[in-house]
């Protein structure tokens, strides 16, 4: 995909982060991604419609509740049907960058990214922040 390295740097240079898809289940990737940010002292908010706290952090219910959406990169670890709605919200909120973990996209999600010119803001199609994140952070130093 064109420009993926730039999008990854844009994503990880944000002052704030949010994770959609974390849960009480520590074996799930959403929770692993949330803990990844915590382990690196990143300012991260879990987004969850029902839980009040995850991994010791207060949750927010929706992307619209982010204090500074235009300065917050969002990791998405949700099924495609949910991801599509999140992309629509993110676009409306001018969120600078989104990282769809493997499996968070389906054909309708990819179509939406393409139709709305979001290729320069969304990482999708395979890269995993748990695998690549540290190298990208180093490249920003």
* Containing structural domain, residue 83: 4-140
Query: Residue 32 is inside which H or E element, if any?
Result: helix 29-39
> 129: which residues sit within 8 A by CB, 6+ positions away?
33, 36, 75, 99, 101
| Kind of pairing between the strands at 122-123 and 98-100 | parallel
SS3 132: helix
Assess contact for 101 and 33: CB atoms under 8 A.
yes
Query: What residues does 93 pair with on adjacent strands?
Result: none
Alpha-carbon span 135 to 129, nearest angstrom: 10
Confidence tier at 2 by pLDDT (50, 70, 90): very low
- Total domains in the chain come to 1
Assess contact for 11 and 97: CB atoms under 8 A.
yes
39-51, pLDDT tens digit by residue?
Answer: 999 999 999 999 9
The CATH number given to whatever domain includes residue 105 is 3.40.50.720
Q: Angle, nearest 10°, between helix axes 29-39 and 129-140? A: 20
DSSP percent split of the chain into helix, strand, coil, nearest 5: 45, 15, 40
The pLDDT, as a whole number, for residue 127 is: 84
Query: What residues does 99 pair with on adjacent strands?
Result: 75, 123
Assess contact for 80 and 105: CB atoms under 8 A.
yes
18-28, pLDDT tens digit by residue?
Answer: 999 999 999 99
Asked whether the predicted pLDDT for residue 1 surpasses 70, the reply is no
The predicted model gives 81-94 an average pLDDT of: 97
Query: What end-to-end distance do the CA atoms of the chain give, in Å?
Result: 24
Judge if pTM exceeds 0.85. yes
Confidence tier at 3 by pLDDT (50, 70, 90): low
47-64, pLDDT tens digit by residue?
Answer: 999 999 999 999 999 999
What distance separates the 2 farthest-apart alpha carbons in the chain?
38
93-131, pLDDT tens digit by residue?
Answer: 999 999 999 999 999 999 999 999 999 999 999 889 999
């Amino acid at each position: 995909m064109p420009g993926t390295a730039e999008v990854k740097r844009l994503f990880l240079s944000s002052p704030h982060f949010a994770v959609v898809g974390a849960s009480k289940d520590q074996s799930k990737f959403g929770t692993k991604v949330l803990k990844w940010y915590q382990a690196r002292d990143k300012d991260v908010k879990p987004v969850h419609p029902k839980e009040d706290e995850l991994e010791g952090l207060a949750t927010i219910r929706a992307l619209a509740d982010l204090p500074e959406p235009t300065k917050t990169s969002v990791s998405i670890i949700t099924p495609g049907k949910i991801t599509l709605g999140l992309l629509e919200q993110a676009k409306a909120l001018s969120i600078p960058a989104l990282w769809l973990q493997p499996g968070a996209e389906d054909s309708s999600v990819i179509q939406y990214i393409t139709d709305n010119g979001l290729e320069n803001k969304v990482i999708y199609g395979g890269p995993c922040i748990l695998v690549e994140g540290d190298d990208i952070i180093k490249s920003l130093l």
